[in-house]
Amino acid sequence: MLKDDLAKIIQQTVAKAFPEYGKEVVEIEYPSDSSHGDYSCNSALRLAKKVGKNPREVAQTIVDTLKKPDFVEKVEIAGPGFINFYVAKEYLVKNLKNINDKYGQNDTGQGKKIVIEYSSPNTNKPLHLGHARNNFLGMAVANLLEANGYEVETTQNVNDRGIHICKSMLAYEKWGNNATPESMDKKGDHFVGDYYVKYSQEAKKDELLEQETRVILKKWEEKDPEARALWKKMNGWVYDGFNETYDLIGSHFTFTTYESQFSEGGRSLVEEAHQKGIVEEIEGGALAIDLSDCNLGDSETGKKVLVRSDGTTIYVTQDIQLAVDRMKETKADGIIYVVGNEQDYHFKVLFQILKKFGHKWAEKLYHLSYAMVNLPSGKMKSREGTTVDLDNLIAELKSLVDKEVTDREMPYKDQEREDLIHAVALGALKYFILKIDPKSDMTYDPSASIDFQGNTGPYLQYTYARIQSILRKAPEGLDASIAATTFTEPEEIAILRKLQLFPEVIKSATKDYRIHGITNYLYDLAQETNSFYVKHKVLDDSSEEKSVARLQLIAAVAQVLKNGLGILGIEAVGRM
Ligand code: ARG
């Protein structure tokens, strides 16, 4: 990767020119205006004060000392003392040969394993739009890490027990009449979700229902066979439904855990920590950990209770067990938790406790926190039964895309048409969500997401398909070798420069799992390609050499789009 190579070279050059400052960090940036070159370095500005010279002089010394590598065509000192580098066209053209289905991958993560937890739904209702953000992020980060050479295991920790499930159970017992998803011809998760809604409606009229739910919960906790059987049956329906939705969106897990397995979880670990003096017994007999040093404990005592005086554990205690078990069983080097930002505090506490318990790997746990997804009409609520669930949302999107396919008089029929609609609808949804920084709240706008002209999945899919269609029409037997001198147009060079950056984008995206860095890149690449079409024809009647070169150029664009979309979990379709 040229960025890394250049950083090394500048480092050595600075060490030679200013030996006392040979260890200074070298930062290579991308100039925001591409007319300033491909890479820019601010070392001269950083060093100037220290060496007591003006930055441009320092820059000049660095440039004079520099042994210019072959891939650099031109070096320029700009503005107050930036050093700008222009990559040689020969290099960019040679790079076209590297662009295959592995292009973009690297081996930074070789030999390391990461577990990614995402989705982790509750079993009382279907997956909704928030889960879409969660799943798409989890899937994309998994792909991203694999592209960087990591071994990845994906997991979900299903919340399969608790008062919310008991509400569905109660409503089913009262009003279910032994119906089943089959008898009602309904997806299992929707079927169970309907009883949850029914409960909420009835509970408004009848206060006693709440107590009845508590009775069910108590029975469940006491392992009452009837309560357990109903619980198992209803959860089974929900899992069937979830699995269908997971298949629909392409989400798969290496392994699944269930919260019910962890009801007792963590207690013995906390007791052990008590023996070691990391945890203390407080008034009333509860076990607590002092978190006052990191300001995460109770506002008065600075402590966090981990085992209550009656011996029961809390959410974070169970998560301690889950993390310890996962690390032991998978022998992973780290865990990424894709969980909503309402649990920011929870994960800070969890990671701190694991650190205090002496687990070195606690440093390698990361909460990939994401914000709320709204629909234009407002927040999605489940209690009132007004949730926009993912299945219905996707069905709605498909009908929007279907209409688009008809309006555009696309000639596809039967299975091909169905596959196209599926790929575009999911591409639209995934891209629209992934292009936004997970930290920001967002509003999902279905019709904007399928706009073929915007910064959307379908736009990128269309750019890909259009290239495929040009390639299909290309005459056979064109001579395949190209010379760097064949590319003369600025639009061609712009594409070549962009293509060269893809591996760097994939590598740098891992830093804080910047999936939206990849969407931005792909959009820019598609824009450059479409600007090229505006001015030039791929098949140039006057020159076979040009035609060949341009066919290779757009084939490379298509490959990079496909590789990039692949990381986002979006299908590149051959015809659109
Ligand atoms: N089930 C939880 C929820 O729906 C998310 C679980 C997060 N994962 C964890 N290991 N705590 O909010």
Answer whether 122 contacts ligand 1 (Cβ < 6 A): yes
Ligand 1 centroid from CA 336, angstroms: 13
Which domains are present in the chain?
Answer: 2-87 (3.30.1360.70), 113-266+313-384 (3.40.50.620), 390-568 (1.10.730.10)
In terms of DSSP H, where are the helices of 107-224?
Answer: 129-147, 163-175, 181-184, 188-205, 208-221
159 lines ligand 1 (CB under 6 A): yes
Query: In angstroms, what is the span from residue 514 Cα to ligand 1's centroid?
Result: 22
How close is the Cα of 118 to the center of ligand 1, in Å? Answer: 9
Pocket-testing residue among 343, 349, 354, ligand 1, by greatest number of atoms within 8 A of Cβ: 343
* pLDDT for position 476: 80
Nearest alpha carbon to residue 209 among 255, 175, 257, 244: 175
Could you give the CA distance from residue 286 to residue 464 in angstroms, rounded to a whole number?
A: 61
Cβ(517)–Cβ(509) below 8 Å: yes
Residue 28 host element (H or E): strand 28-29
Query: 3-state DSSP helix/strand/coil percent for the chain, to nearest 5?
Result: 55, 10, 30
Q: Is 519 exposed, middle or buried (0-12, 13-18, 19+ CB in 10 A)?
A: buried
Q: Is 115 in the pocket of ligand 1 (CB under 6 A)?
A: no
380 by DSSP, 3-state: which? coil
> How remote is the C-alpha of 183 from its chain's centroid?
38
pTM equals 0.95
| Whether the Cβ atoms of residue 532 and residue 492 lie closer than 8 Å to each other | yes
Token pair belonging to 44 = 């001269």
Neighbours of 482 (CB within 10 A): 19
CA of 139 to the centre of ligand 1 (A): 17
Give the pLDDT of residue 381. Answer: 46
Q: Fill in the amino acid letter for 491.
A: E
**CA of 339 relative to ligand 1 center, distance in Å:** 7
DSSP symbol at 343: G
In whole angstroms, what separates CA 477 from the centre of its chain? 42
Picking from 322, 337, 323, 346, the residue whose alpha carbon sits closest to that of residue 367 is 337
What is the rounded CA–CA span in Å between residue 560 and residue 100?
8
Whose tokens are 């899937």? That residue is: 139
Ligand 1 centroid from CA 435, angstroms = 24
Going from the Cα of 156 to the center of ligand 1, the distance in angstroms, rounded, reads: 9
**Which H or E element spans position 306?**
strand 303-307
Q: Walk along the chain (576 residues) and give the pLDDT tens digit of each residue.
A: 999 999 999 999 999 999 999 888 999 999 999 999 999 999 999 999 999 999 999 999 999 999 999 999 999 999 999 999 999 999 999 999 999 999 999 999 999 999 999 999 999 999 999 999 999 999 999 999 999 999 999 999 999 999 999 999 999 999 999 999 999 999 999 999 999 999 999 999 999 999 999 999 999 999 999 999 999 999 999 999 999 999 999 999 999 999 999 888 899 999 999 999 999 999 899 999 999 999 999 999 999 999 999 999 999 999 999 999 999 999 999 999 999 999 999 999 999 999 999 999 999 999 999 999 988 765 444 444 456 899 999 999 999 999 999 999 999 999 999 999 999 999 999 999 999 999 999 999 999 999 999 999 999 999 999 999 999 998 887 766 788 888 999 999 999 999 999 999 999 999 999 999 999 999 999 999 999 999 999 998 788 889 999 999 999 999 999 999 999 999 999 999
**Residue 413: Cβ within 10 Å count:** 8
Residue nearest to atom 2 of ligand 1 (CA): 120
Q: Tell which phi-psi region holds residue 378, choosing left (phi > 0), alpha (psi between -120 and 50) or beta.
A: left
- Tell me what pLDDT residue 534 has: 95
| Per-residue model confidence (pLDDT) at position 45 | 96
How far apart CA 79 and CA 36 sit, in angstroms, is 10
Say if residues 265 and 320 touch (Cβ distance below 8 Å): yes
Question: Which one of 120, 128, 354 would you pick to mutate in the ligand 1 pocket, going by the greatest count of ligand atoms within 8 A of its CB?
Answer: 120
Instruction: Please give the pLDDT value at position 480.
Output: 66
pLDDT at 529: 97
> Is the CB of 336 within 6 Å of ligand 1?
no
pLDDT at 479: 63
Cβ of 531 closer than 6 Å to ligand 1, yes or no, is no
CA angle, corner 523, sides to 140 and 417, nearest 5?
75
